[in-house]
Structure 1
């Protein structure tokens, strides 16, 4: 697929808004990508939704894809703009700026993007704008492991960044089949990630700042607040071969919170023989859902 053209909102966010019928009264589907990706990760889903007459908004998180790197690493309160609040603010500013909050919308988030839509939903769920929430192998309740160690060893950050910068082999960790067995859509996704990272080297810096400051593991309180919004239809999807955000214990941690909240509109699905980017690997089955 050819990468779509887009616009820059508020000198901060690259976005692509697409529809077949251009009906400005219809709800919008908003897709939020993960920590190391950009909006093109949703190209197969976007095409399928537009074909079914949905309006779809996909955008690049700050410093990722075609979105520029922030002019300041901190906000007016001295907090990192790459933390949870910073990403939620970027998303809210875009939605309100495009007047999409008047149309209502469905949210889809993958990996860290799943956590972002969860944090967003916990904050704005009572506004009666969100029609549904779909989270795909989302972070937020992870065991951090090596990331926790890296965060605590601040004196080594420059060394670790130097070692990791330019390492594109990690992109394949998101897929179950690799090498000669790789599916064409997976190869396409990885090739585009490599290309965009070469074009915009600051993407790695945005990835790093997010890894250090975003709540990948301690979002339980916000998720409890989200699960209390019983009117939001919610779908949680995972993959059994996910090595990035493993099915267990993460899937159970999320569903336990929803069950404790007695959420009446929760559905779940686990994809077999697929990994972190299962919505790309098994795009036909996923898009049918």
Structure 2
């Protein structure tokens, strides 16, 4: 073989080997870095841009796609110990001309974390309202979507700021008294009785505990490699003290039933989505909401657990788009009815004026 040709193959092989070796090294040695790169790449691929905005000295981090248009903007609130990127699996199935905003909840990811902040559900509602005002999202009513803890915050927000919300989607929301005891609630009760509340199932600190948490949250059994489990744990461990503080605040009497206490005040059109096999928050919560919020739509997903957004992203996006389309048709129907009413009123007024004038002329004669 010609020496130049051989050198070309060696150089080409080395060029290919370098990124492959870098990937393998990252996978084995720094799996948490690989996870961060993965989310960064996914955001770019989906056209989600990350921005920061300040309310006084408090910083919010969010990602967005699209611009406000004729359809309502959609604000997405993630769950406990998650982050804005958890919505990417749903964003993938939403149209690019729909204005989407995914915000890091208070204390999470890029949003300010302070030991002095109020992380109760009501405290988080206040912070999210500050964020909404910062980006002028409430210039016209928007759609609010929340899951788990974020669903609790979304429901209370809709109750406290009804003029800002045109419609609401709650995905297996927290904040309701359990009619039936879920596996997670049972585990918490047992931990409380044994005074071992430092070992909360939703706050893993080892790959084995992470695997157990995934089993608890998902009906679908994902085959996650040990290195990825380690990476997921490595990402979370620096934040576990905060997660414990947050958990005890939202599980406190002030917050634990906050959605239940406010659901009768929700005036916006509401959609409930729940996994039938939810082991964290029992699916019976959907009935509680359905009985208190007039005309709300309820969708129970078969073979789905608590992580609806991750397990059934396509279905979640489909249900959301159908719900938004239904609300838009209803809004257009109201506008058409109002226009028809005013045309009738104007016609009647014109008729009265016309005959009134004729009668006046007749009297003068």
The answer to whether the superposition gives a TM-score over 0.5 is: yes
Cα distance, 1:234–1:268 mapped onto 2, change above 3 Å: same
Q: Quick one: distance in 2 between partners of 1:247 and 1:271?
A: 10
Partner residue of 1:175 out of 218, 225, 234: 218
Aligned residue in 2 for 1:9: 53
* Alpha-carbon shift at residue 130 of structure 1 (Å): 0.8
Kindly name which structure, 1 or 2, has the bigger radius of gyration based on alpha carbons: 2
What is the number of equivalent residue pairs in this alignment? 256
1:147–1:7 distance in 2 versus 1, CA, 3 Å: farther
Tell me what 2:134 maps to.
97
Matched, 1:242 2:278: yes
Counterpart-to-counterpart distance in 1, 2:309 and 2:140: 26
In 2, the alpha carbon distance for the partners of 1:152 and 1:73 equals 30
Which 5+ residue runs of structure 1 have no aligned equivalent?
A: 75-80, 181-186
- How big is each residue's C-alpha offset from its partner over 1:54-95, in whole Å with a ceiling of 9 and x where there is no partner? 11000111222332422x334xxxxxx110121101111110
Give the secondary structure class of the aligned counterpart of 2:264. Answer: helix
Residue number in structure 1 paired with 2:18: none
In structure 2, the partner of 1:64 is: 108
CA distance in 2, matches of 1:95, 1:271: 31
Going from structure 1 to structure 2, the CA distance change for 1:217 and 1:43 (only over 3 Å counts) comes to: same
More helix by proportion, 1 or 2? Answer: 2
1:106-121 correspondence to structure 2 within 5 Å? 106-121=143-158
Q: 1:104 to 1:32 in 2, by over 3 A?
A: same
Structure with more relative contact order (C-alpha pairs < 8 Å, separation 6 or more): 1
What value does the CA root-mean-square deviation take over the aligned residues? 3.0
Q: CA 1:99–1:26 in structure 2 vs 1: closer, same or farther (change >3 Å)?
A: farther
Residue 87 (structure 2) aligns with: 42
Over 3 Å counting, the alpha-carbon distance change for 1:90 and 1:197 in structure 2 is: farther
Asked if 1:32 is matched to 2:32, the reply is: no
Offset, 1:238:
0.8
TM-score normalised by structure 2 residue count? 0.62
Alignment of structure 1 residues 148-227 onto 2, 5 Å: 159-160=198-199, 164-166=204-206, 167-169=209-211, 170-180=213-223, 195=231, 198-199=234-235, 201-214=237-250, 215-226=255-266
Q: State the Cα distance separating 1:44 from its structure 2 match.
A: 2.1
Q: Deviations over 1:177-205 (max 9, x none)?
A: 2144xxxxxx69x95x9756634644323
Alignment deviations for residues 117-176 of structure 1 (CA, whole Å, 9 cap, x no partner): 011011001x2x2111000011111435554687899x866x547x95454231342211
